Amino acid sequence: MDVMEVLTAHGVVNPGEVIRIALAAGLDIPAAATLLEKETGGGRNVWGHDGVDTGGAYVKGAEVTEAAYQAYKAIRDMPFTGARAQGVGPTQLTSPGLQDIADGRGGCWNPSVNCAVGFEHLLRLMRNNGVRDGFRAFNGSGPAAEAYADDAMRRLAVWQQRLGNLPLGDFSVGIEQQSTLEDIMIIAPPGNDDHIDVVVKGHKRLYLACSYHRVVNVHHIDFWGDTTADKPAGNGVGGAFEAFRLDSNRPGPLSIPDGAAMVTIRYTADHSFGVGAV
């Protein structure tokens, strides 16, 4: 089995999008799956159940639609009505600030946007507080948040055991619609002194991204291009970068030399990681 199949088997909704968004955010996939499992049973696009007045705008636990969300947004911040902020979508964004960020990126009601903002927020909290307390802070504070964090850590251990070093699987369908620039996004599999070749012709920057707390050892990166009459065969663009370690705090970019058509990346990694060219 691969990661996508395991996510599907254990109830994660739209696992291909979850993998893509988690990789883009830099969040470890087991942590993303844990968050979705805890918040909405695997990533369902539903309203929360917080004890606030709905104002008739939506039904708690029902599917989040754009129309219902806009009706909720119209009453959320009205004066003299009390706090009406409610959890929204797969990651249950509840803070008005986070909801507004999601709206600025396409709409908090959109599951993909909701997951992106939620995953990025959880990652920030983990970096600032550690993994357990990152989950705690995502939920809030007090005894309920402590219990949330303890349960999240138990679930995280299960997801880590389930996924291990499994390949990610094919989740590329639909990625092209995310950008009008025809950017390249592929996944490099785990490997020991392995390599991957990526066509980069016409692109300017190369990005590599791995999940939080994971490291890729990049031994060297070579760019290749068409040889010309005044160059010996095989020279092309060529030339290797010095070896460097890639972690979640050093995603790139590297400049792609003019005329380069392909890049060879030699690496050692015990997990899959993303390679993108824009």
pLDDT (tens digit, 9 = 90+) per residue, 227-260? 555 555 444 455 555 555 555 445 557 788 877 8
What is the rounded end-to-end Cα distance, in angstroms, of the chain? 31
Amino acid (1-letter code) at residue 10: H
Domain membership of residue 253 (yes or no) is yes
Task: State the total domains in the chain.
Answer: 2
Q: Could you list the residue range(s) of the whole structural domain that residue 256 is in?
A: 179-277
Three-class SS of residue 68? helix
Check residue 181 and give its pLDDT: 38
Banded pLDDT at 178 (limits 50, 70, 90):
very low
The residue that leads in pLDDT, 77 or 61, is 61
In this structure, what CATH number is given to the domain that contains residue 40?
1.10.530
Q: Tell me if 30 sits within 8 A of 160, measured CB to CB.
A: yes
Q: What is the mean pLDDT of residues 88-109?
A: 94
Amino acid (1-letter code) at residue 230: D
Helix 15-25 vs helix 29-40: angle between axes, to the nearest 10 degrees? Answer: 120
Q: Which residues are within 8 A (CB) of 192 and not within 5 positions of it... i.e. 6 or more apart?
A: 268
Banded pLDDT at 93 (limits 50, 70, 90):
very high
* 66 shares its domain with 151: yes
Domain membership of residue 169 (yes or no) is no
Please give the backbone phi and psi of residue 188, each rounded to the nearest 5 degrees, phi first: -85, 130
* 11 shares its domain with 85: yes
The partner residues of 222 in beta bridges, in order of sequence, read: 240, 264
The partner residues of 188 in beta bridges, in order of sequence, read: 273
Domain membership of residue 168 (yes or no) is no
* 158 shares its domain with 190: no
Locus of tokens 């709905």: 54
* 188 shares its domain with 219: yes
* 85 shares its domain with 135: yes
Check residue 112 and give its pLDDT: 94
